């Protein structure tokens, strides 16, 4: 089989980062974008300054380097990102206040189509190791929550992106996307990068194939189409993020329902553990709520700018893009309702747990009192023995006490079961 190539491809990988205006302004200021520095600045070095009183300090490793190219202080930053100041493996980073983050690079040669996913994987991993250490703890916490991961290293591996390839050609002549996809010899040409193709458009002398994992644009898009493609890219990135977020929420909902079923039979130790787990879940749901709100704000912001682009245009690409963003708003609202419902469920579970814990404590209190009573009676018998009571009397008292003793033993066993290692 012939190897197929992208001709002079430009590759853009898109990620969503919880950004916001404050973080972007802060990044722009710290980078010195307004000073138009021509040399890069290092960020995200491992370690932290222990004592600000010391003029010099030592870090554990170097970070990544950002060199501003274009910016608006509260809107966006375009910068070159690299591993060290003379790195030849530099990439373009374009991030805006909504958290749309594009990492781009271009090749002035042919690249095998099947090799592109490998390159995308490498870009994702490099970007994660370079850019994530720059983020604040809060941003990282929200990002980890979105992807359902607890530690930073796993987050680097689990970023879910969407990619775009803009290429001068794919080695076969394309007259329209429809014809291309109907041609038996060509229709699977792009799937190694796109996976399933779910949309295709021929517009502005370009042919656009939208897949589940990536989109391919064959041709030379003008500025207007580039702007539109950026929005398509981001919409599918948000789609993936939403999917991941919902999966994480679903997993948490499952844990919650499992807890509800076990409470009636749980012992004190299990209840205490579940109570801690419940606090974690509540914390997660609070973060989910914030992420949902941020995504909703992001989508609404993008929709506003899209409305300006779209005015009067009937192109199916525009219309489907708008539809995609509107669906994201709807999904976001749907998730918010779900989170509200989960918050109520958590409260109900917490009440149920408290009741069960109180019941266990009360029962054990009763058993303890009974134990004290029996011990007191034993003491009385002992005193009777010392004072010379007859054997019959002692036997009679012992027989009378037998049920109490059995009850105490049973209570002790129950106590052990409820409290075993549960302090």
Residues interacting with other proteins, by CB under 8 A? 26, 30-32, 35, 37-43, 45, 47-63, 85-86, 136
Enter the DSSP assignment of 108: S
In the complex, minimum distance from the CB of residue 56 to other proteins, in angstroms, rounded to a whole number: 5
DSSP 3-state of 297: helix
The label of the residue with tokens 């409290």 reads 419
Q: In angstroms, rounded to a whole number, what is the distance separating the alpha carbons of residues 101 and 16?
A: 6
In the complex, minimum distance from the CB of residue 132 to other proteins, in angstroms, rounded to a whole number: 14
Enter the DSSP assignment of 44: -
In the complex, minimum distance from the CB of residue 260 to other proteins, in angstroms, rounded to a whole number: 41
- In the bound state with other proteins, the residue whose beta carbon lies nearer, of 80 and 368, is 80
- In the bound state with other proteins, the residue whose beta carbon lies nearer, of 35 and 423, is 35
The CA-to-CA distance between both ends of the chain, in Å, stands at 68
- In the bound state with other proteins, the residue whose beta carbon lies nearer, of 61 and 376, is 61
Q: Is 264 exposed, middle or buried (0-12, 13-18, 19+ CB in 10 A)?
A: exposed
- In the bound state with other proteins, the residue whose beta carbon lies nearer, of 38 and 173, is 38
In the complex, minimum distance from the CB of residue 26 to other proteins, in angstroms, rounded to a whole number: 8
Which among 321, 79, 56 is positioned nearest to 210, based on CA atoms? 321
- In the bound state with other proteins, the residue whose beta carbon lies nearer, of 55 and 403, is 55
Which among 156, 263, 165 is positioned nearest to 208, based on CA atoms? 165
- In the bound state with other proteins, the residue whose beta carbon lies nearer, of 40 and 221, is 40
Q: In angstroms, rounded to a whole number, what is the distance separating the alpha carbons of residues 82 and 95?
A: 15
Q: Are strands 162-167 and 110-112 parallel, antiparallel or unpaired?
A: unpaired
DSSP 3-state of 227: helix
In the complex, minimum distance from the CB of residue 148 to other proteins, in angstroms, rounded to a whole number: 26
Q: In angstroms, rounded to a whole number, what is the distance separating the alpha carbons of residues 336 and 290?
A: 9
In the complex, minimum distance from the CB of residue 145 to other proteins, in angstroms, rounded to a whole number: 20
């Amino acid at each position: 089989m012939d190897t197929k190539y992208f001709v002079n491809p430009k590759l853009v990988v898109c990620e969503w980062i919880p950004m916001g205006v404050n973080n972007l302004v802060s990044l722009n200021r710290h980078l010195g974008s307004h000073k138009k520095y021509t040399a890069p600045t290092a960020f995200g070095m491992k370690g932290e300054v222990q004592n600000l009183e010391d003029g010099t300090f030592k870090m554990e490793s170097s970070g990544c380097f950002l060199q501003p190219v274009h910016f608006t202080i509260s809107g966006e930053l375009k910068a070159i990102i690299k591993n060290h100041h003379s790195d030849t493996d530099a990439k373009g980073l374009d991030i805006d206040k909504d958290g749309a983050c594009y990492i781009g690079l271009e090749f002035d040669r042919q690249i095998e189509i099947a090799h592109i996913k490998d390159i995308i994987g490498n870009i994702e991993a490099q970007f994660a190791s370079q850019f994530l250490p720059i983020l604040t703890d809060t941003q990282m916490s929200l990002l980890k929550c979105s992807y359902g991961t607890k530690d930073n290293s796993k987050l680097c591996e689990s970023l879910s992106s969407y990619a775009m390839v803009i290429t001068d050609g794919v080695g076969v002549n394309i007259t329209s996307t429809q014809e291309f996809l109907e041609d038996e010899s060509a229709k699977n040409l792009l799937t190694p990068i796109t996976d399933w193709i779910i949309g295709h458009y021929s517009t502005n002398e370009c042919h656009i194939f939208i897949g589940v994992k990536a989109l391919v644009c064959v041709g030379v898009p003008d500025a207007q189409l580039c702007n539109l493609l950026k929005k398509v890219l981001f919409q599918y990135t948000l789609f993936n993020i939403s999917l991941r977020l919902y999966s994480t929420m679903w997993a948490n909902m499952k844990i919650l329902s499992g807890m509800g079923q076990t409470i009636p039979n749980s012992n004190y130790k299990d209840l205490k553990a579940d109570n801690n787990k419940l606090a974690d879940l509540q914390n997660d749901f609070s973060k989910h709520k914030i992420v949902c709100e941020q995504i909703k704000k992001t989508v609404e912001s993008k929709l506003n700018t899209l409305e300006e682009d779209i005015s009067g245009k009937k192109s199916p690409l525009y219309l489907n893009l708008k539809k995609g963003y509107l669906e994201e708003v709807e999904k976001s609202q749907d998730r918010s309702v779900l989170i509200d419902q989960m918050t109520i469920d958590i409260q109900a579970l917490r009440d149920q747990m408290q009741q069960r814990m109180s019941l266990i404590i009360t029962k054990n209190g009763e058993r303890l009192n009974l134990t004290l009573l029996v011990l007191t009676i034993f003491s009385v018998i002992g005193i009777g023995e010392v004072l010379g009571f007859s054997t019959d009397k002692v036997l009679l008292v012992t027989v009378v006490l037998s049920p109490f003793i059995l009850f105490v033993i049973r209570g002790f066993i129950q106590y052990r079961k409820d409290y075993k290692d549960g302090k």
